Amino acid sequence: MTDVPAAPQTDAPPSATDIAERAQQWKVLFLSQQLSLMAMMLPGLPVLTAALDMAGTPRDGDFPMDLMHGTDEPGPERERYSFSAREVATVASKIRGPILNDLMAMPMLAAAVRVHDMIRLSGLDDPDVPLLQFARHYRNATAHGDRWHFTGDQPKRPARCRDLTLTADLHGQRASFHTISPRLHVEFLDDIANHFVPGLVPEPPRS
């Protein structure tokens, strides 16, 4: 796996290299979230243990998770909304059911939005490249509840990633974990990276 450093934050339009690096960062975040999700569900609360260690708090202790709102000036608008870290971790470890699919889909959908937004801002978009058209429709699906949205004669141009070609009969079907598997999502991010920086990402080992 390619080690991709964080690009500096600027107001300039993203470059081809910026897009490729961001795609790879989203890939790593997607994979690492799978590990984090497994840890979150363990009854021993290893996620809380790690947070307590980072906070310098005894492992049998707790600390407040403070959510701030408003300006930096003191006053009622600066009041804290506080949660117990131990209580949050305990309740989270018991979560099961469809919400876990939603949680696993979040980095997929966020990547679809941010990657396409960078492509759009870069001025490097090309309507004749099926992969970039795929990126556009993947992003649009996120705005329609994680479902493909095709009206009229859409998709007007070929939209394809690997062996998945988007067609009008996919309208209304779920994108993440249905038509786009976790493997295809990672392959999409690799293909985006290699489109903008050819040869950046080698093919992963397969079993």
Q: How far apart are CA 131 and CA 158, in angstroms?
A: 9
For residue 7, pLDDT beyond 60: no
pLDDT at 68: 78
Q: Which residues pair with 66 in a beta bridge?
A: 82
Q: Over the stretch 73-92, which tens digit does the pLDDT of each residue have?
A: 666 556 778 999 999 999 99
For residue 48, pLDDT beyond 80: yes
Output the DSSP codes for 44-79.
T-HHHHHHHHHHT--TT---EEEE--S-SS-SGGG-
> Could you give phi then psi for residue 123, rounded to 5 degrees?
75, 10
pLDDT at 79: 72
For residue 18, pLDDT beyond 70: yes
For residues 82, 84, 87, 92, the Cα torsion angle rounded to the nearest 10 degrees is: 60
Would you state the structure tokens that stand for residue 186, as one six-digit string? 């990672």
pLDDT at 50: 95
Domain range annotation of the chain: 16-40+97-196, 46-92
Residue 4 pLDDT level (bands cut at 50, 70, 90): low
Burial-class residue 3 by CB neighbours within 10 Å (0-12, 13-18, 19+).
Answer: exposed
Residue 146 pLDDT level (bands cut at 50, 70, 90): very high
pLDDT at 76: 59
Residue 203 pLDDT level (bands cut at 50, 70, 90): confident
Residue partners of 45: CB distance under 8 A and separation at least 6: 86, 89, 90, 93
